[in-house]
Each structure stands twice: as structure tokens, then as C-alpha cells.
Structure 1
Amino acid sequence: MRQLLIIIALLFLSGAQLMAQFNTGRFGNTGGGGGGTSKMQRDTSRHEHELDTLTLTYRYLGEPTDFTIDSSVADFQLNYLKVPATYATLGNSGSAARNLIFTPLMKPGFDAGFHSYDIYSNSHQNARFYHTTRPYSELSYLVGGKQEQIIGITHTQNRTERFNFAFDYRKVNAPGFFRTQNSNHDTYRLTAHYQSKNKRANTYLSFYYNKINGGENGGIRADSILDDPSYKQRRNVPVFLGNSVSRSYGFFGTSSPVKSQYQETGLLLQQQYDWGRGDSIHVNDTTDYYKFDPVFRVQYTFNYQNSNYQFIDAVPDTGFYRMHYDFAPSADTLQAKHVWKMISNDLSLIQFPIRGNLGHFIKAGARFESITGTFLDANINFSNLALHGEYRNKTRNKLWDFSAKGEFYVLGQNRGDYSVAGMLQRHLNDFLGDMRLTFTNVNREPSYVYKYFNSTRDTWYNTELTKENITQLQFATESRKLKYNLAVNYFLFNNYTYFKDYYHSDQYKSLFNLLQIVFSKKFSLEPFAWYADIAFQQVHGNAPVNVPAFWTRHRFAFEKRLYKNLNLMTGVEVRYNTDYYADDYSPITGQFIYQDSVKVKYNFPDLAAFANFRIKSFSAYVRAENLNTFFAKNNFAAPLYPYNNFSFRVGLRWWFIN
């Protein structure tokens, strides 16, 4: 397989001109949940139209802001793995994950409730619609311990000035250090944008397919086993599920006796037609440019989603299920399955009050949803009708950005669900940066997995759940000159829904709140740099929510540009969070569950050494991770779920202009 990748890379190199230069940039995540998360970027690919460079930008659906590709090598987690450092997995790359910075689901309407693998999956919300002056390709490859491999391929091009398409593929294959822990994910995405010659009509297409396979081992039998010298080879440590079954590992197919198997397909087609004013702008004696400014738009959106969530245990361990689920499965395969199909049709009317400013608009619309659920022993059908509206004013001078939007379900299964949100952002100056205030309030039906769940062994209903209500207030500020991001979040919860054990849900009826402070800053004393990421969280009240009071990551690095084109960053990374009652995990339901009996403690901070560099359009990440296991016991992500042993990883990333 490695030889094949080398051949592919050589073929790309032989038929492409390399990018001349990328400036260093970085993402800043200001934390928070729901609608309060902000991603701020630096332009790292925009150049004048030189022969060996390109102009490449992208947008998200409904967002008038242009974004650019980030070529920084500063953050391996975010820039390469696509998993923020604040996320904790069950120990292995690609396994079920949750954000240590608590992020409640703030979305009204129907939700199936299976989100433990969302961080690896594509969606319409994160689909990128590109515009590029030249065809652009990106290839990435990572190899790690225990046969871990990750492949990423991206390609986008404008076939004409009016039509662009993009394709993404990503594979994560990690057998893991412990038994039955392997993950094997394949995710695909296709996007396209077409604009008519008179610029009145636009069509957007977004398609994704997520195939998620996560091995489930139920955790190790006891944490004391890790101190036993006879289990120095972690693959021999006994686990609760799939312990006695032989396994085979392969890059394109890995058999696992116990696994969560998710398949998600999404197709979105959005069509727009505009009325407005067009002008021909005379550029020179031979060139005229047609400029069209919409005043009124009709927009239709078709959305189809098909999701299949399964848990399969081919050889059930009766002791584990008796202990946690209060039933003993038979010798046959234990299976749980939820299949959901949704078709929605949305019609919106949009007005642009100021000519030439697409960031200033008024939008009103309605959406009809038809939803079908298929289970092992039953089916369900229902529909929803929702009204929505939005006012957005992103001023031309880019000093102010204001939005107010709302959504209300007037008919159907989710009748009474709503969301209201407001945001005010001000650019102070280039030195002080931006300041933002955000308000969000959501009233929503609990996700369906909290109301009903069935398997081949047992079925339960919870008919006593009422609507959740969550309010978020956020103050955020960032400055590229001062190199910092700060977000202060205040959440207010009512009727918070959670899993009280491995198989049953519950609701906390009392009001409680959560305070979050998330801060990141780069301190520089050339050629040395200190990247500090710090988060503080505090829950007020006796709510069934456990979060680490303090989480932090620090990267101490030597940074320097050498020999004109070599951007080097090498140093050490330290991660730590305070002791807390970390959520347990239920394999059958695929849910993280509340527990207050086992406190997860760090024996020693997670420690890694790294050497990252970029030469023009080629980047490499070399990392020695979990160095702390040489002199301390493995740290735990959740009760009986230890992190991996020492691992050596090499990640490569190429950009090409074809």
C-alpha cells in the first residue's frame, strides 16, 4: 500500500506545477457550543495572478463570507487530523469521541441522537463550495503505530468561470493498541456550484456518504491490569467485548466481532433565481465584464438524508450485558438498529436592500419535512412544517456584522420547537481585532434515541420527556496582531435530557447553568514560541453534567524559516485536565452516559514531541506521542478506557496546482 501511495504522489508531481509559496496561517476556535462557535482564518493562499500561484476561496451555504485554505503546520490535531484537541476519544484514533469543552446540541426539530462519531463525518453544514482560478489538488497520508493509516484526497476546479466542482475522500484505519478497538472509516463528499451566463440563476449541489465502523470492546476488565508486566503487550489485555474472538486487520477491510456501524447519505440541491440590475463594465478595448447585483431572490432547497445506525455483537459476552443492561443475550448475534429517512422541501424569499452587498439581506421561508423511522420491530412516519426568517447586515466596510434569525415549528411531531439567535460583531481595528456578542435560545424535542430504543433482546420507551430549553450567551474577541482568541459562554439549561445508565434515559427538571471561559494565545520570543490553550468550566447546581474544571494544552516550539523555503516548527506538546467523573460509554446505544462513581485522574500529563515543517507546497508532521507511558501508567479517557501506549506518527500533505 505504501508503494502504491508513492506511485500516486509521483504521478501527481509529474503532471503538476508545485505551488510557489504559502504564508503561515492558523485556525482559532473560540469554543462554546451550538451557534456560538467561531472559526477565524488567515488568508494563506490568495495571491496576484502569477503563473505558478492561484486564488482559491470557498464558502458555506447561507454564509456570505469568503474563507481560504489554511496551510499552517502549527496544529496537527486541527489542520491534519481534523479533530480539535479538545475532543477526547475512547483511546484510539477514529473511536467514539466527545468534546471536553461541553457543547450541547442546539438545533430544533427532529434529531436521531447518534453523535458519538460526528467529528469524523461529513454534513451539509460543513460542505465547502469553492472558486479557484486553477485546478487544485491535495493529497495527505499518515502512518502510525499498530498499522494506523489515514488517507485524504481533495480536488477542486472551475471547469468554466461559472461552474466549479470539488471532491473529498478520507479514510481512517486504526487497529488500535487494545483488543476489538479498531476503527475503519470512509467518508466521501461531492460539491458543485453552477451560475448561469446572466448570473441570475445559481445551483448548489452537496452530496456526502459516511461509512463509519468503530470497534467496541466495552473497556478493559480492570485498570490494575496495566500494572501487570505480563500485559506489557496491550493487545493481550482482556476486555469485556470480543475478548476471545480472533481478528484480522486489513487496510480496506477489517473484521470486528463487536462494532458500531453507521452509514449516512445526504443529498442537497439548492436553486436560486435573482431579479436585480446588471451592468457591463468596460475593462479595456477588448474586455467587458458583466456585473449583476441581485435585489430579490427566490430560493428552493431539496434535502434528502438516509441514516442507518447499527450495533452488532456476533458473540455476546453474557457477563457484560448482565452487569450493565440487566439482560443476558442468547448465543445468537445481538443487534440494535435505527434507520431514518428524511425528505425536506424549503422555499425562501430573500431581499437585498443595498445594491452590491450580498451580506445585507432579509430572508423568510417555510420548510416541510417528511420523516420515516425503521426499527427491528416497528416503523414510524411523521412530518413537520417549520417557518424561518433571518436578517443579516455585514457592512461593506467590514466593521460591523449583525444578524438576527429564528425558526419555529408550527405543525407536526416537533410542533413548538423553536430557535432564536442574535449576533453583533464589531471590528475595532487591526491591532485590537474583533469583538462579538451572541445570544441563542432553543426549545427542542429531545433526540429520538432518548425516547425509544430497541435491540434484539430488549425494548424501552420513555414517554415522560418534555421539551428541553437551552440558552447561550457568549462574549468573544480575537486579534491576529495580538495572536489570541477568547470566548466566555454562559449556558442556562431547563429539562436537560441525558442517559442515566447504559440503556435508559432521564431528564433533569430543575434549572442549572454552566460557565465556560476558553482562551488561546501565542507568545513569541523569536525563534521560540509558546502556544497556550486554556479552558475553565463550572456547573452551578446538582445537574447530571460532569466536565473537567480545567483543561489545557501547551506547545513549546522552536519556529524559524530556514534556507528561504523551509518553515520549521519543532518542540513538545503537553495536555492536561483536572480529575473529574468522566462520562462512561454504552456500546449498544452508542451514547456517552452520566456517571458519578469513578473519577478519572491523570497520572501524568499527556506528552508528545513533534517536528513539523513545510517546504513550499509540501508539509510533514513527525510526532512521538504518549511519551508519558514510559514513566507512568496510561491515562484514561473514560472509566476503563485507557489511551494508547507510545506511538510514532508521520503525516504528509501535498498541495498541487494542475
Structure 2
Amino acid sequence: MRKILFITLLILISGKIAAQVPVQNQFSQFGSSASGMDGNLYDRNGNPIDTTAVIDASTIPIGLSSWTIDERFGIITEVPVDTLLYNFQNTNDTGGPTGHYTYLGNLGSPRISHVFFERKDPSQLFFTDPYDFTVRTPQDVVYTNTKSPFSNLTYYKQGGGEYGEERFKAYFAVNANKRLGFGFNIDYTYGRGKYQHQSTALFNGNLFAYYRGDKYNMHFSFINDNLKVAENGGITDDHYITKPEQIGDGQKLDASEIPVNFESIWNHNTGYHGFLTHRYNLGFYRDNPDKNDTINTEIFVPVTSFIHTLKVDMNRRKYISQDETKNQSYFENNFLSPDNTDITKQLIVKNTLGLSLLEGFNKWAKAGLTAFVSHEYRRFTMTDTIADNPGQRIQTDYVENVVSVGGQLIKEQGKTLHYNVTGEVALLGEDIGQFQIEGTGDLNFRLFNDTVRLEANAYIKNLNPVFYYRHFHSKHYWWDQDLSKIMRTRIEGKLSIDHWKTQLRAGVENITNYTYLDNTSVKYTATTEEKETVTYKNDLAVRQHSGNIQILSASLRQDFKWGILHLDNEITYQKSSNQNVLPLPDLSLYHNLYLRFGLAKKVLKVELGADVRYFTKYYAPDYAPAIGQFYLQNPETRYKVGGYPLVNAYLNLHLKRTRIFLNMYNLIQGDMGGGYFTAPHYPLNPRSLKFGLSWNFFD
């Protein structure tokens, strides 16, 4: 709590200082818009948006717009400002707003989506992939242009004392003028854990700055991660949850009393991530076609852009184990002596240079065209052995370089058709021969006085497995292997009819050489005069499935409204052709029934309801605490989880700039029979009351 108070004080002081910065010629709130590769804003008709409007200087100007950028070229995508009441109660759910994630129960714990089409490719920053609930990448950073200094403070709370959880988020943005802005974001999550030795302490913060001029555009961010997670290896027996009457004296234990596998194991990741993308535009000025804009008599029309992007990632992962006796009985291998520290480091530096011919500078330029070249330097530091003395351990660097070239064809302007096709191939280095072609597009047309939108995305990828699939040395797992490239082909379409509140999505993917972590635990049998005891010592290996695996997925989102009564529904069906290698639940469901109304002349907006998440039983991936990753269950001991409706009741309130929620989590807590698990041996938190508060400031 002292850290939270200190951070809050820092924000308030920063806000007062920033308030002295002159804010002038800021823009009004944007409607529907898109952004060109030049960084300027355009409406759906392809006309530039006026960003110079001002309001009465006698009042505090309120108005802001936000956007994100892509990591390769810095292309801008407008995003809505997070001020909505809807679903506020689910913004702090590790399982995702509609329950699509398998996770370890506690706030901020590692997770993986059980909806396959939502899974991302493993990254070279392997160890932080499961923490995407809080970890941010440069393309997740939200930049804001605001008429006055803008701050948001958000606080989440559940329980107190030894087993409570808290999360504090702060966002601040200010403009020096209409083109230059900067700010920062802080996210601190502390989940003490309802079960023993399960705590999460996750700090994520970023600084950002941007300049959006006619000829020069720049976006910069610096992100820091500090993630410390206690690993308990799951509860020792699932019957403590599913059939407590069969355990011990038959008395149901509190969550904090249930035995777990580990007491003194931690994973600690520390990361620093710098990002800069900037471009210089060549073009010309012409008369402004907007006769209502009396300020800008001329507008700049960019023709060609020279682009440079720099991305630097540093990460240090430390595995801490202080219970060597337990390790000897749980793990098959113990490669390092107790006094050896298990540390892995990564340094990745990527530079991209691009030359772009921009869309829309004349009537014949119907699309933009970009060519680019990139170089990526990677250095991985791991524990290794000395050939003459295998018992001695040293730190060894593994260095990789990759040179790639590619191109992009993009159309963003206009009302009807938009598309983006990007291709890249590795010409030199570790990933030579790797290539990927990705395309997205949308078609918009009128039907029965409504807008229908057809979207499509497709890709073909031939990817070299990331470094830690090919090499990994640690206290309990050790491998070096030559793997084939992974071939992935996907095509997916989406139909949206806004008036009917309907979204239908369907797609299919084929994977060759699917690469995954497999459970190779070793079985031990001990016989005494009293009984025979069977144990499995944990071990892992990386496998490749040489054949093809097909995944079919279809999702329907249909919302209904009758006066103040709302019912929102999402149904996702998916099928894996090989459930032994790539298990997936057949169905994932989300339903939300609520009342939405206003009080006090509709100044106070209210949502009152309950939602339910459900997925059918399947062989959900297990979790390996010594590597911090999900992997296949042991085929000899595997069992299915799922089939449990997670029900939450909630109240949302929105008064002017303030949002509040109360949420009763896991309302039925096992009353439907079975256990409340999303991952094997890791139960969800029991029934509890959650609270959240978000407050916006414009001064």
C-alpha cells in the first residue's frame, strides 16, 4: 500500500507540473477515422481530419484521442478511450473478459488461451509470454493527444490481509502543443493468493512520447517489467476440491490450508524494452478542400516516407529454488548443484529501414507500397558445461543474426474496401529460409439500411522455432536439438451486422511440424510389505509432430436488447484433428444477462447483472513451474478439466468521470459438482467479493 501511495503522489505532482505546459490548438474528439502511413488522420472518405479546433478558454478543455502503432512501420490505429461502463467488472480478470484463458487461479498468474485462434506465436522473449495479462509490448502502448493534461487512476481490490489481491493502474498524458505529447503508464499487480505459496508481484511501467508533424513523425516508448511469482506446483491432491469428504478426516479445508507441492520456488523476470519508430515525409502543400476549416488554408500531402524503427529488448529470468530435498523427489534431473544459480538472459536488437510510396497523394495512387530490410541481433546467455570438467558450470553466450527483406501493399482510405498485405523472407543468418505472408482486408456495404462488414485475414508462415525450443539449459531441464521449420497456413473470415448486434467468425488452420513441450515424466514403483507406491518424477522435452494438424474454429457473437434488459452471448466452437498433441475444448461459452438504466436524470448510469463462463472438458495443458510454461499432460496420468460454469454477479456504476464496480466472483463455488479448475491441479479462487474504481482527471 505504501508503494501505491507513493506512485499516486508521483502522478499528482507530475500532473501539476505538466499542467503548466501550454496546451494550445488541440483537436476535438474524433469520429470514425483511419490513419495513413504518413501518420496523419483521415476520415473514411479519405479526407484529412481537422486537428486544430479549440474551445472556450474560460473552461478546462476536455477532449482527447488515443491510438496505438505497429512495431514495424509505426502505422497508427485509432483506439477508443477507455471510459465505457460496459464490462468494467471484467477488466481485471486473468481468465479474460469472456473467460478464454487457462490460468493458475491467482491474479496475474501465467495463462494460455484455450481458444486456439487467439494464441500468439511463441516469441524470443519466451519466459514472459504467459504474462500477457499485464506485460505490454510497444504495439500495446496507448498514445494520447489531449486538450488538457489527462490522468486516469484505477484501483482493484479483493479481500485483505494475508490472502487478498490488489492492482493499481495509473495513466498520464499531456501535450506541449498540437503535435508533441508524452506521458507514462504504471501497472502494479499484487496477488497474495488464496492457496499457499502462490503470490504474484508484477510491476509494469512505460514512458512514451510522440511528435506528429507534416514532414516528421516519431513515436518512442520505454517499458520496464519486474515479475516475481511464487510457484507452488499446484495442490497435492485434487480431491481437496472435488471430493473433500474422501481426504483426511473428511473435513473441508479452507483454500489456505490445502497442501501444495512447493514452498520455496520463485520465477523472477526483469525486462527493459526500448522502442523508437520515426519517418521523414516528402510531399507538397495544396489548398485545403474543407471550406469550413478557416485555420488551415493549406494541407500537406505526403508522397514518400523514409522509415526507421529500432527495437531493443533485454530480459533476465532467474529461477530460485531453496528446497533441494523436495526437488530431488519431484524432478527427474537436477543438473546444477544447490549453490548454482539458474539464470538466463536475452538481448535482442532489431533495426528496420523502409521506403514507402504513400496512398492517396493523387487519384491514381489507390494504395500504398513499402519495401523494407531488417537486421536482428540476438544474444542468449545460459548455464553451460566445460568439456574437461563436466561438473563445473559457466555462463555461455549464444549469438544469432538474421537479415530479412520484405514489402507491404496497403489501402486504408475510402469507405468501401481496405486491405493490408505484408510479406517477409529471411535471407541470411540463423532463420535463413524463414518466410511469412500475411493479409487482412474488409469490405463495407449497405444492406436494408444497415452497414454490413466482411473481414478476412489469412497467412502462410514457415517459421524457425524460437531459440528456447532449440536450446535450453537449466537446473532441471536440458536440451540442444535441431528442429525443422514450422509451416502454418490459416484463412479466417468475419461477418458483422451492427444493427442486428451480430458477429460471425469462422476459420481453418493447418500446421506441419507443430512444436510443443511434452511431458516425459519417469515412472517409479516402490513395493513394501504394506503397499505398492507409484510416483512420477517430472521431466520435459521439446517435440515436433511431423504430420499435419488441422484446427477448425467458428464463433458467434449475438447480443439482444429488450428495453433495459440486455443479453450478450458468445459461442466458440473449435476442433483439433489431433487431441493427443493439440488438445482443445470443443465449446467455449460466455453469456451476460444484465439491466442497464439511468438514475438521477440519467446522470448515474447503472448496470446490474450476472455473467457465466463455461468450456467443455478437455485435456487442458499442465504447467511446469521450473520453466514457467504450459505443456502436455502425462499421457499415463492425464485427466480432463472444464465443464464448470463460473458465475459472477456484478454491479457497475458510472457517474461523470468515475466508474465503480462490485463483483461477487465464483458465485456457485462448486455447487454444480466436480471441481473449479482451468488448469490441472490449480483450482480457481473460491467465492469472493471484488471491488474496482476508475477515475479520470482533466486538470
Please give the range of the TM-score, normalised by the shorter of the 2 chains: 0.7 to 0.9
Residue 312 of structure 2 contacts residue 348 of structure 2 at CA under 8 Å; is this kept in 1?
A: yes
- What amino acid maps onto 2:677 in structure 1? F
Residue 108 of structure 2 contacts residue 133 of structure 2 at CA under 8 Å; is this kept in 1?
A: no
Question: Which residue of the other structure, out of 180, 194, 219, is the alignment partner of 1:204?
Answer: 219
Q: Distance in 1 between matches of 2:625 and 2:513?
A: 25
1:235 equivalent in structure 2: 256
Shift of the 575–433 alpha-carbon distance from structure 1 to 2, 3 Å rule, reads: same
Residue 348 of structure 2 contacts residue 376 of structure 2 at CA under 8 Å; is this kept in 1?
A: yes
2:64 equivalent in structure 1: 55
1:565 lines up with 2:603 in the alignment: yes
Query: More displaced, 231-240 or 566-575?
Result: 231-240
Q: What are the within-5 Å matches in structure 2 for residues 457-472 of structure 1? A: 459-463=478-482, 465-472=483-490
Query: Secondary structure at 1:225's aligned position in 2?
Result: helix
1:584 lines up with 2:622 in the alignment: yes
- What amino acid maps onto 1:642 in structure 2? P
Query: Secondary structure at 2:78's aligned position in 1?
Result: coil
- What amino acid maps onto 2:75 in structure 1? E
Q: Distance in 2 between matches of 1:327 and 1:490?
A: 40
1:132 lines up with 2:153 in the alignment: no
Residue 179 of structure 1 contacts residue 236 of structure 1 at CA under 8 Å; is this kept in 2?
A: yes
Question: Which residue of the other structure, out of 599, 623, 647, is the alignment partner of 1:607?
Answer: 647
Q: How much does 1:500 deviate?
A: 1.0
Residue 616 of structure 2 contacts residue 643 of structure 2 at CA under 8 Å; is this kept in 1?
A: no
- What amino acid maps onto 1:623 in structure 2? N
Question: Which residue of the other structure, out of 246, 264, 275, is the alignment partner of 1:268?
Answer: 275
Residue 89 of structure 2 contacts residue 661 of structure 2 at CA under 8 Å; is this kept in 1?
A: no
Shift of the 335–645 alpha-carbon distance from structure 1 to 2, 3 Å rule, reads: farther
Q: How much does 1:88 deviate?
A: 2.4
1:618 lines up with 2:658 in the alignment: yes
Residue 164 of structure 2 contacts residue 194 of structure 2 at CA under 8 Å; is this kept in 1?
A: no
Q: What are the within-5 Å matches in structure 2 for residues 474-489 of structure 1? A: 474-489=492-507
2:471 equivalent in structure 1: 452
1:292 lines up with 2:300 in the alignment: yes
Q: What are the within-5 Å matches in structure 2 for residues 8-23 of structure 1? A: none
Q: How much does 1:353 deviate?
A: 4.1
Q: Distance in 1 between matches of 2:667 and 2:404?
A: 52
Structure 1 gap segments, 5+ residues each: 17-22, 26-46, 243-256
1:170 lines up with 2:170 in the alignment: no
1:39 equivalent in structure 2: none
Query: Secondary structure at 1:495's aligned position in 2?
Result: strand
Shift of the 220–112 alpha-carbon distance from structure 1 to 2, 3 Å rule, reads: closer
Q: How much does 1:86 deviate?
A: 1.2
Residue 114 of structure 1 contacts residue 591 of structure 1 at CA under 8 Å; is this kept in 2?
A: no
Q: What are the within-5 Å matches in structure 2 for residues 67-466 of structure 1? A: 67-76=79-88, 79-81=91-93, 83-84=96-97, 85-103=99-117, 112=126, 114-145=128-159, 146-196=163-213, 199-226=214-241, 227=244, 228=247, 230=251, 232-242=253-263, 257-279=264-286, 287-288=295-296, 290-318=298-326, 322-323=329-330, 325-328=331-334, 332=338, 335-355=341-361, 360-377=367-384, 378-396=396-414, 398-429=415-446, 431-456=450-475, 459-463=478-482, 465-466=483-484
Q: Distance in 1 between matches of 2:579 and 2:644?
A: 29
The TM-score, its normalising length taken from structure 1, stands at 0.86
Shift of the 356–57 alpha-carbon distance from structure 1 to 2, 3 Å rule, reads: farther
Query: More displaced, 612-621 or 50-59?
Result: 50-59
- What amino acid maps onto 1:86 in structure 2? H
Query: Secondary structure at 1:388's aligned position in 2?
Result: strand
2:576 equivalent in structure 1: 539
Q: What are the within-5 Å matches in structure 2 for residues 480-499 of structure 1? A: 480-499=498-517
User: CA-to-partner distance for each residue in 1:112-165, whole Å, 9 max, x for gaps?
Assistant: 465211232010121223222222111000110322110000011111112011
State percent identity of aligned pairs.
22
Q: How much does 1:386 deviate?
A: 0.7
Query: Secondary structure at 1:569's aligned position in 2?
Result: strand
Query: More displaced, 261-270 or 645-654?
Result: 261-270
Q: RMSD across aligned C-alpha pairs, in angstroms?
A: 3.1
User: CA-to-partner distance for each residue in 1:19-57, whole Å, 9 max, x for gaps?
Assistant: xxxx9x9xxxxxxxxxxxxxxxxxxxxx99575531323
Q: Distance in 2 between matches of 1:116 and 1:483?
A: 32
Residue 615 of structure 2 contacts residue 644 of structure 2 at CA under 8 Å; is this kept in 1?
A: no
Query: Secondary structure at 1:120's aligned position in 2?
Result: coil
- What amino acid maps onto 2:496 in structure 1? E
- What amino acid maps onto 2:698 in structure 1? I
1:520 lines up with 2:557 in the alignment: yes
Q: How much does 1:541 deviate?
A: 3.8
- What amino acid maps onto 2:238 in structure 1? D
Query: Secondary structure at 2:668's aligned position in 1?
Result: helix
Q: Distance in 2 between matches of 1:307 and 1:77?
A: 32
- What amino acid maps onto 1:528 in structure 2? L
Shift of the 181–533 alpha-carbon distance from structure 1 to 2, 3 Å rule, reads: same
Q: How much does 1:374 deviate?
A: 0.6
Q: Distance in 1 between matches of 2:294 and 2:457?
A: 49
Q: Distance in 1 between matches of 2:362 and 2:6?
A: 47
Q: Distance in 1 between matches of 2:122 and 2:285?
A: 39
Q: How much does 1:420 deviate?
A: 0.2
2:532 equivalent in structure 1: none
Structure 2 gap segments, 5+ residues each: 20-28, 32-52, 385-395, 520-538
Question: Which residue of the other structure, out of 500, 508, 511, is the alignment partner of 2:518?
Answer: 500
Q: Distance in 1 between matches of 2:138 and 2:648?
A: 34
The TM-score, its normalising length taken from structure 2, stands at 0.81
Q: Distance in 2 between matches of 1:552 and 1:314?
A: 41
Shift of the 329–314 alpha-carbon distance from structure 1 to 2, 3 Å rule, reads: farther
- What amino acid maps onto 2:612 in structure 1? V
Residue 579 of structure 1 contacts residue 599 of structure 1 at CA under 8 Å; is this kept in 2?
A: no
- What amino acid maps onto 2:375 in structure 1? F
Shift of the 264–277 alpha-carbon distance from structure 1 to 2, 3 Å rule, reads: same
Shift of the 285–354 alpha-carbon distance from structure 1 to 2, 3 Å rule, reads: closer
